[in-house]
Amino acid sequence: MGYYDEGRMGRNKRGGKGGYFLSGLAGVVVGVGLVIAILPSITDYQNDERTVVENQSSGHTEQVSVDVTTDVTKAVDKAKDTVVGITNIQETMNFFGAAATTQEAGTGSGVIYKKDGNKAFIVTNYHVVEGSQQLEVTLADGTKEPAKLIGSDVWTDLAVLSISDKNVDKVAEFGNSEALKIGEPVIAIGNPLGLEFSGSVTQGVVSGLERAVPVDLNGDMVSDWQAEVLQTDAAINPGNSGGALVNIAGQVIGINSMKIAENAVEGIGLSIPIDAVLPIIEDLESFGEVKRPAMGITLQNVSELPAYHQRQTLKLPEMVTEGVIIEQVLTKSPAAEAGLREYDVITKLDGKPIQDVIALRKYMYNHKKAGDSIMITYYRDGKQQQTELKLVAESDF
């Protein structure tokens, strides 16, 4: 016990005052040498990167500013001014006889992607503008502009607005979402939690490509569509909807959506790939809607029907367990003209198996357009049949 203390005490006694003096002198010499050696570097560093605000010798703490420029800051500088805030203004009912008033119903984000004539065009989410009586855009510098809704699409959760281009200096550059790689750095820019946090930036990576997420469009707890999205771990919060997902080159490669990610999970943000956005905004600009093809029928999944009715009511062979049931055929529709009837069961389109309503819609919307012909394989009274019809636009019904 106490051996280490005793050893140190013994050495100190043997060294005496002379040892202290020599050690101290050696320390001073070494210290002076180090200061002389590094003084030029310190001077260069201060001259190059630091600005002295107050001198320490005056009794004040020295303040310095450091100029930090990275690929991330360059990307943000390139894209941030193209991201705007969007305010959805709606009328509120008054039950006491007074006139209805308008108030803010919600806020989101948008991306300025084009200037044409005296207008600037903005892409955002459908749910950001849904139900609006008025729309107001807040630019990056705080300037507010009234906005006009050009068109919207509930299926892809996208919408296009226009504003005056008077105060718009920059438009976003679109990248190529097909070229993205898992692990690639990305940046989300938007207005989380409202305009008080406008221009907020979060960073992450591409966590997944071509994710298929079920979406319930009408609130009946049944999936109507599968949105194909990018997954990122960059934080995307309420208010970020409609904002930009940007690559390291400052190019927009996705439009963020909180609506698609209804079940919020920490570390998972979803964004609509820009390659899927482009044809939608082209249609919205030109027609105010997306010109999707339609047959003129309403549908139900075979799998939702009990096995008894699959066999007894529809008279399907035992091997047929998937497909879509025609619930209704609209009058004078392509389906009616092709001879399709209620309770026919569609199992193939152009020879490709169709498992359910979502699969049918995806094939139609991704591979066909109004005016195209399509071959329908279906079962009626237990017998397989085929018919061909010419598709029309959904808006024609």
| Residues labelled catalytic | 127, 157, 241
352-353/383-390 β-pairing? unpaired
Grouping H, G, I as helix, E, B as strand and the rest as coil, residue 350 is coil
With a CB cutoff of 8 Å and minimum separation 6, the contacts of 88 are 104, 105, 106, 107, 108, 128, 129, 130, 131, 132, 135
Grouping H, G, I as helix, E, B as strand and the rest as coil, residue 170 is coil
In angstroms, the CA 80 to CA 386 distance is 54
Q: Is residue 111 a contact partner of residue 255, using CB atoms and an 8 Å limit?
A: yes
In angstroms, the CA 262 to CA 217 distance is 11
- Whole-number Cα distances in Å, 262 to 204, 213, 361: 20, 10, 22
Strand partners, 206: 232
Both tokens of residue 369? 């357009």
In angstroms, the CA 345 to CA 300 distance is 9
Q: Is residue 285 a contact partner of residue 240, using CB atoms and an 8 Å limit?
A: no
**Which of 259, 250, 222 shows the shortest CA–CA distance to 357?**
222
**Which of 279, 275, 304 shows the shortest CA–CA distance to 289?**
279
E runs forming strands in the chain: 83-92, 101-116, 119-124, 134-138, 144-153, 158-164, 185-190, 200-215, 225-232, 244-247, 252-256, 269-273, 293-294, 297-301, 324-329, 345-349, 352-353, 373-380, 383-390, 392-393
Both tokens of residue 324? 């879509």
Give me the DSSP letters along 245-303: EEETTS-EEEEE-TTT--S--TT-EEEEEHHHHHHHHHHHHHHSS---EE-SEEEEEGG
